[in-house]
Amino acid sequence: MMYPLVRELAASDDPRRVPVPVAVTCRVLGLARQPYYRWLVSPVTDAELTEAHRANALFEAHRDGPEFGHRFLVDEAPAAAQVMAERAGWRISTASR
């Protein structure tokens, strides 16, 4: 995601450098300004937050039984109020290796 870079380049709190306006930064990077301003209001999306909660539930289930695979972990996730499909559990499990 390029929006943190836009925020960093447009920051005016560093006295050693000249801040670049958001419009110029977005134009150079090929981004639209409106999605950047929406991202500033809510930098963490609901989908990212849900995935983080699911990953935490899988991690906790794995801590209790490290010898089990992702299918068992997905079965244990509803105990932590995180219901997910087996494919989503597999994706989160393999990404956190």
pLDDT digits (tens, 9 = 90+) for 26-78: 888 899 999 999 988 988 888 889 888 888 888 887 776 666 677 777 877 77
Cα–Cα dist 87/11, whole Å: 40
Which of 2, 24, 22 lies closest to 12 in space, CA to CA?
Answer: 22
Q: What is the pTM of this model?
A: 0.58
Instruction: Please report the pLDDT score of residue 78 as a whole number.
Output: 79
Which of 48, 80, 88 lies closest to 61 in space, CA to CA?
Answer: 80
